[in-house]
Chains A and B, each alone.
Chain A
Amino acid sequence: DARVTQTPRHKVTEMGQEVTMRCQPILGHNTVFWYRQTMMQGLELLAYFRNRAPLDDSGMPKDRFSAEMPDATLATLKIQPSEPRDSAVYFCASGLSTNEKLFFGSGTQLSVL
């Protein structure tokens, strides 16, 4: 079964440290999304790529967050410096721009102490 792979599954770090989360989209998919899930806010879109180009990152705090796709098989989400309020589950999802179904990874559980 093709699946979206996210690493690490869990990350505990201290405030001020850099955090990098990685996502391997399903081979052939040309859209990639990063979502953040918290109890208070639910699922929030952070960034959206199509054909590796960023289309929408308006939901991402620009001062500390950055999202990139170095190549078609890797998407990264970086937080520098991390803060306790960044504690959440971060999901990556991929799909085809011609198809409405999104495939989600299992998420990265981030705890910033």
Chain B
Amino acid sequence: GDSVTQMEGPVTLSEEAFLTINCTYTATGYPSLFWYVQYPGEGLQLLLKATKADDKGSNKGFEATYRKETTSFHLEKGSVQVSDSAVYFCALRRNYGGSQGNLIFGKGTKLSVKP
């Protein structure tokens, strides 16, 4: 079945460091790919998405490129801030001929950024 695998955390970085969180997926067809972020005590929020191969999603300095050849969607940010401390979830959604299926999430990666 469809699945998402992302690197286990926690990831601890100093402010202004470069961030990469790896995500790979297994799915039939051409899913849409997402990164969601969860701040402490809150629900998940969509961070960015990509709907087809070679698309790059970007938001708030974060980027991820849909790589079909490596079935990957790695999250990157050039310079993290303390306020980026959160749990990051990679997810996919299969597209059933125009109607949307549910999201399948990875286990999440906790990021802690120290001043």
Contact = CB atoms under 8 A, between A and B. Distances in A.
Interface of A: 4, 31, 33, 35, 42-43, 45, 48, 50, 56, 91, 93, 95, 97-98, 100-102, 104-107
Contact of B46 (A102, A105, A107): A102
A104 B46 CA distance: 9
A31 B108 contact: no
Interface in B79-115: 89, 93, 99-100, 102-108
B93 A93 contact: no
Nearest to A31: B100
Nearest to B103: A102
B46 A106 contact: no
Contacts, number: 46
Interface in B22-42: 32, 34, 41-42
A93 B105 contact: no
A106 B42 CA distance: 5
Given A91-B44, A102-B46, 18 more contacts: A33-B102, A33-B103, A42-B105, A42-B106, A45-B104, A50-B99, A56-B102, A91-B43, A93-B43, A95-B100, A98-B100, A100-B32, A100-B34, A100-B51, A104-B43, A104-B44, A105-B43, A106-B43
A107 B40 CA distance: 11
A3 to B, nearest CB: 9
A97 B100 contact: yes
A107 B43 contact: yes
A104 B45 contact: yes
B77 interface: no
Nearest to A104: B43
Contacts of B99: 50, 97
Contact of A4 (B32, B43, B107): B43
Contacts of A102: 44, 46, 103
A33 B42 CA distance: 16
29 contacts: A4-B43, A33-B102, A33-B103, A35-B105, A42-B105, A42-B106, A42-B107, A42-B108, A43-B44, A43-B108, A45-B104, A48-B102, A50-B99, A56-B102, A91-B43, A91-B44, A93-B43, A93-B44, A97-B99, A98-B100, A100-B34, A100-B49, A100-B93, A100-B100, A101-B49, A102-B44, A102-B103, A104-B43, A106-B41
